[in-house]
Amino acid sequence: MAANMQDLLETTLPGLGYELVDLELARNGLVRVFIDKEGGINVTDCVTVSHHLERLFIVEGVNYERLEISSPGLDRPIVKAADFVRFAGQIVKVKLRLPLPDKRKKLVGVLLGLENDVVRVEVDGQELSLPQSQIDKVRLEPQF
């Protein structure tokens, strides 16, 4: 269902002027959709998308208990290949599935990009090449 839901959202949301950032499906029937658009997301955007998706899910026969629409926040997840290009040069926090040889599982550095399913990050002046399969999460690190 996750792949179908992902496809459904990726074809629907751009027509409304939004980008699908991430999708979470919880066991208790919760569907959490993170959206973004140029200039950011406000409560009205969330309400608009929620109403539209409620009607869409009825038509498509999508079974769910609760629907939550949210902005990705300042620590936006970097998920799609296009995200790695768009946010290259930004500071990111990387959480690895398995530790590096120096025992680190969490890194903060400058995102250099994505090439052939390998994420490149500069950490403490050193460029690291991390296979996407070894990465749990990549998020923007807010700068104040």
Residue 3, pLDDT score: 58
Sheet of 30-36: strand order equals 19-25, 30-36, 66-70
Is residue 28 classed as helix, strand or coil in its secondary structure?
coil
Residues of the chain with CATH 2.30.30.100: 81-140
Domain 81-140 architecture: Roll (2.30)
pLDDT digit string (tens) for 9-68? 999 999 999 999 999 998 889 999 999 998 899 999 999 999 999 999 999 998 899 999
Q: Does domain 2-70 have CATH number 1.10.3470?
A: no
pLDDT digit string (tens) for 59-115? 999 889 999 999 999 999 998 888 999 999 999 999 999 998 889 999 999 999 999
Residues of the chain with CATH 3.30.300: 2-70
Rounded-to-integer distance, Cα 121 and Cα 140, Å: 12
Rounded-to-integer distance, Cα 132 and Cα 115, Å: 10
How big is the CA angle at 72 (ends 46 and 115), to the nearest 5 degrees? 135
139: confidence class by pLDDT, cuts 50, 70, 90: very high
